[in-house]
Structure 1
Amino acid sequence: MHSNLFRQPEGGLSQSPFFILDTMPYSKYFRPDQKLLLRPLRDDQERIENLSAYVVRLAEDVICLYFPYENRPGEEYPFEPEMPVELVGEALGLGIRITGNFQRQLDRDQVEIRLNNDLQAFQRRIHPRGDVTVGLRYTRGHGALRTFRSQWEKNVRILAGQRSLEKLGHFPRVAINLGTGGLRFAIKSSVQVADLCMVLIQLQPENTPICALAEVVWIAEEDDDQAEKRTAGLQFINILKSDQQKIETFLRETRTLAESPSENPS
């Protein structure tokens, strides 16, 4: 396993001061093929969930979205009637957010959301990210969002009750680029955009690993077509807020150590 970080700071951004927008027409802010993050709004504030979604069309206050995961039958996201969601993206040089409610599943990869009249703009603040060395293990799959999501929930429960790190096995220490919104690393060349990865990240050898579900959002072009690995950027789909905070603290401490002057300069 190997790693580094994704180019867009999506999923790992703070939303500083909000501005209420004149929301009509919505077409001013949403266009076909525009990428958004869909965030289910739930009572569980500890869980962060971001799904990539692309605008298909907009009809008054109903937006049709397409998910890139190519889910197999039964693997679509488990939306519930009128489930509240938040959509976050970019328009006119600003971050935008709006809430809405799930209306219907058109097929495995398309849904309709009825938008509320609460569109807001905000200025984005990028969280820290950097090149670090961590323990890393992952598994990869495609078209199995529901299965991976359920496995992530199970993994988080297991790790919360884990007392002995020896039972978790060995975590190879790998130089990666890491941020609160995702990571970047060299992965087997068969990787595709929208592949799902269950990643276990051990920030320090003595730490219980962090488990996150991530999606491949971009793959770097390689000069050698026969290369065994390609650099890929991953965005977290599911991660605990407390684990995201651990990553941020780790990055700040790592940066502080790197910037501290040596006690015994040569």
Structure 2
Amino acid sequence: YGSTVSVASVQAALESNPDVKGVFVQASETSTGAQHDIKAMAESIRQTDAIFVVDAITGLGTMPVDIDGWGLDIVVGGSQKAFMIPPGLAFISVGPKAWAMAETSTLPKYYFNLKKEKKSAAGGESSWTPNTSLLLALAESLIYIKSLGMDKLVENAQGLARATRAAALALDLELFSPDSPAGCVTALRPPKGMDSGVIVKEFRNRFGSIITNGQGSMKGQIFRIAHLGYFDFSDLFVMVAQLELILAANGVDVEFGKGVAAVQQVYVEMAGLKRVPAMA
């Protein structure tokens, strides 16, 4: 957990298994806060007959994902992450290499039929009953994203992620995925001897803030702070201040303001702010 698959290992696997039809990878993983190097993987996989399928549900809007520029054959997205609306919609892009494979596919299909959906989409329709309410919500979300710019949305998530990591290190908290941290969520280990569920519960009970525990075998071992979509530095300043108070209330020796100062420093660097000399 917390590690990513190297490009070299993917390349070696494809060389050893030339009959492989597709490579599936997550752009970023919320359960561990890890992020893959999708661009480098695409460059390697492009040299083979396999298609590259990317789960970008938490990647879109939190990290660079250049679908056409990188030659990503299939990219899957979802409504509930950086698109800022409830779950219930899925998005999929299909490139020429993947379409060629779909055209000759003999696998059984019914609801999830790309060829049928492509034909319907060409006529401005959906093959099945659309989720109209979520589509209207998506339209509003896309207006916001377009006004901001996708690059800015990604920059915001990446900057908040960097600031969260800086705050964690300033508070002597260990990053769960230090070598390949994600822009969507940061996973942290609690102080030694503390169950991460205590921190999650304290956030909710003391401040009404919601963060998440680890999943499965990692429950109690990590806690996760999301910073994607409609979330900015004002939110993060407050959350880190809350984290400092929670740690102190549970017996951790905390220097108040140290984590917040780390977030402020990242903000200053991103905003290009300069200190004005004090008046004499």
Query: What range describes the TM-score normalised by the shorter chain of this pair?
Result: under 0.3
TM-score by length of 1: 0.27
Higher strand share: 1
Q: Rg: which structure is higher?
A: 2
Structure possessing the higher relative contact order (Cα contacts under 8 Å, 6 or more residues apart): 1
TM-score by length of 2: 0.26
